[in-house]
Structure 1
Amino acid sequence: MRIWNKSGWMVAAALVMAPVAANAQSAVRDSGLIVSSVEQAIAQPAARIEGFALTVDVSDRALYVMSGERVVRRFPVSVGEDGYPTPQGSFRIRHMIWNPSWTPPASSWARGKKREAPGSPGNPMGRVKMFFQEPDYYIHGSGAISSLGNARSHGCIRMRNEDAVELARLVMVNGGDPRNPQWFQQTVANRTTSRDVVLPRPVQVRIRA
């Protein structure tokens, strides 16, 4: 069952796998879970999805969780700004880091910035990052929620931390590396400790204009 609030976000946690009718497509494309913490995000069910893949629409500023050609989740994202575009094409997520550190890249925009440890308040990577083109491009959590729906990143895909955590769990389940609830609870609780995950089955990511 799906319950919608006035902003069009999906409150219920259940995944609905029925085909999306044409006149219902807009409703699904505006859906996403409402959770207010990463603890709530890891408590949501993460199911296997037939034909699982991710699509990022740069123009829509949205990330879609796909089952074949059907949209089953939509998340608002921030994409690359002018001068730092998000790469387009077909990629795969093979590797992710929970509680990542951040090292400033050798780029003019990062001049003067310092390395940030996992869990540091100044760490722009949030709670998890999923590489779609190593080493420079990834989908990652962010506390800068005002940037969502805009072109504000330096090429990466930013999400709410809570959304990134939910998405990473779906990627792990569908990428062949499910973990038990205790693993996620420990990972979220120990935010200063990084954990690497390498997927047995890489997950497809399509990025389009």
Structure 2
Amino acid sequence: MKRNCKLSRLALGLTLAISGAACVTEPTSNSNSEIGRATPSPLASPTVAATTEVTGVPVTLPVLDAFFASDEAFTPELKTRLSLTDDQIAQLRAVAREETSKLRETENGDYGGTTAEARELAASRMKEIVGADKGSQLAAFVSERWRAGGDDLDAKNEKTSTESVATSPNAVPTDSRIVVNAPAYRMDVFEGGRLIKSYKVGIGYPEFPLPTGLRKAKAIIFNPTWTPPDEPWVESPSSKVKVGEKVEAGSKLNPLGLLKIPIGSPSLIHGGKTLAKLGTFSSHGCVGLTDALVQDFAKVLAQLANQKLSDADIANYKKNRSETKQVTLSNPVPVELRYETIVAEDGKLHLYRDVYGRLTNTEENLRAVLEANGVKLEDLTEEERSQTLEALEEMSRDPKGKLAQGPMASTGASTASTASPSASPVSSPKAVVQKSARITRNFKGKKEIVINIAA
């Protein structure tokens, strides 16, 4: 049938919000032996995108806390741009820090927090402290600053035509760039428009969501220092580090591992993760990799920047772990952070969990994916339609098992779409869609449903 070939290359990115936070990781082994190189995906899938209103993005208290902690210009600008008083700023700092300190990560991966709840709490607290008008202005200011990567605000108008988010159907990157799709827990590397490598990654917690938008990787920092956050696991009696006390580069207590790559304040791409943490919520607004993978990625990143970073170079940095060194990239590499929950490729639909509750798994958006590829939902068989709509509903549930919007979020919430560069790996040869009333408090069981829609 006609739709068989048309469905071979299609993807829809559906981004409703721009958010993020400073990254904090739990101490883990720095062993490089747990995993080798990632296997590149054989085919990059085109995309569909649209625009978004900055004022509509969620801002959480941990996000606010991240800017207070990592952005030196943030507090002064709250005074000059929003006319906030010292007392108001002190109160905002306190409530943001308190909420961040409540974050918990269980050993079994059970995680019940949602971005929507965190956003509502932040709006309420900010309104109490600075008033409704200033609270809205503060949320918009934080959103814009985060979208631009904080310190990249002044440079946002200097981007070339190739350094932009895809906005047309069937578009894939034509330049060299990194593209991260949070719901798929995936990071893709493009060189000259060709997909050369993919990595499975950890992403930010719902209260610390990975932001969206275009960033730049300008440097690779070897042997970074680390300052422990005010977190329960840091404050526990068994902890060997103290809150606010800088952990030196190379220390076994430093969870960042050998290197980190800033991608615009306050987010990073870094190592320090165990293999089990990939494909999970495992960071504060950052992209997490194992130490072995982040070293491999650093070499690929340098290659995109037309610089050489060899195994011997990395070995030399390892020899002197107490000394922090920065490798500045002469050609900064674009890093595009996207949010995609519906992907069609090779006669299959990949439906990803709406991990940050952006209401992207809707029938309207599903139709947009299919129609962008010349196929209508009605073209599917009755069985295919039934499976697809059931799966769409299942993947619209939050960690507490609640649907994002009514019995089926098909009314099409105000969406903004960004693209994913490729369909993410299939989790199993053939997924079976099942109805279930089970309350799922984590995303470990079903993060992706794959449905065959072509004979």
Q: TM-score by structure 2 length?
A: 0.34
Gap change, CA 1:171 and 1:21, over 3 Å in 2: closer
* Equivalent residue, structure 2, for 1:186: 316
Q: Corresponding residue for 1:126? A: 257
Structure with a larger share of its residues in strand = 1
Instruction: Quote how far apart the aligned CAs of 1:182 are.
Output: 3.8
1:174 counterpart (286, 304, 310): 304
Who is 2:224 aligned against?
100
Return 5+ residue gaps in structure 1 as ranges: 1-8, 23-49
C-alpha spacing 1:187/1:57, structure 2 compared with 1 (3 Å) = same
User: Percent identical across equivalent pairs?
Assistant: 25
* Greater than 4 Å deviation, 4+ residue runs: 9-13, 107-112
Which residue of the partner structure matches residue 275 of structure 2? Answer: 145
- The counterpart of 1:159, out of the listed 275, 285, 289, is 289
Query: Structure 2: where are the runs of 5+ without partners?
Result: 1-34, 46-173, 236-241, 340-455
1:137 is matched by which residue type in structure 2? S
Judged with a 3 Å threshold, the aligned counterparts in structure 2 of structure 1 residues 125 and 152 are, in CA distance, closer, same or farther, namely: same
Deviation track 1:150-205 (CA, whole Å, cap 9, x = no partner) reads 11211111101111001111112221332455432211233332211111100011
CA distance in structure 2 between the aligned counterparts of 1:149 and 1:97, rounded to whole angstroms: 24
The answer to whether residue 182 in structure 2 is matched with residue 58 in structure 1 is yes
Pick from 111, 115, 132: which aligns with 2:246?
115
Q: Distance in 1 between matches of 2:267 and 2:44?
A: 34
Task: Tell me which structure has the larger Cα radius of gyration.
Answer: 2
Q: Which amino acid aligns with 1:129?
A: K
1:74 is displaced (CA, Å) by 1.1
- Answering whether residue 209 of structure 2 is matched by residue 85 of structure 1, we say yes
Corresponding residue for residue 121 of structure 2 = none
Shift of 1:67: 2.8
CA distance 1:12–1:79, shift in 2 (3 Å): closer
| Maintained 8 Å contact 2:38/2:197 | no
Instruction: Deviation per CA, 1:70-106: give whole Å up to 9, x if none.
Output: 322111111100211111111000022112111235x
Task: Measure the CA separation in 2 of the matches of 1:169 and 1:21.
Answer: 22
Displacement of 1:121: 1.8
Distance 2:218 2:324 in 1: 17
Deviations 1:112-166 (A, max 9, x none): 53322112222121111111013x2110011433211011211111101111001
Give the 3 Å change call, closer, same or farther, for CA 178–153 of structure 1 in structure 2.
Answer: same
Alignment of 1:69-80 (within 5 A): 69-80=193-204
The answer on whether the counterparts of 2:216 and 2:334 sit within 8 Å (CA) in structure 1 is yes
- Checking the alignment, whether the CA contact within 8 Å between 2:269 and 2:286 is kept in structure 1 is yes
Tell me the secondary structure at the aligned position of residue 289 of structure 2: strand
> Does the CA-based 8 Å contact 2:203-2:210 persist in structure 1?
yes
Structure (1/2) with the larger helix percentage: 2
2:384 aligns to what? none
Distance 1:21 1:201 in 2: 24
Size of the alignment, in residue pairs? Answer: 169
Of 64-73 and 161-170, more deviation after overlay is shown by 64-73
Worse-superposed segment, 195-204 or 171-180: 171-180
Superposed CA RMSD in Å reads 2.9
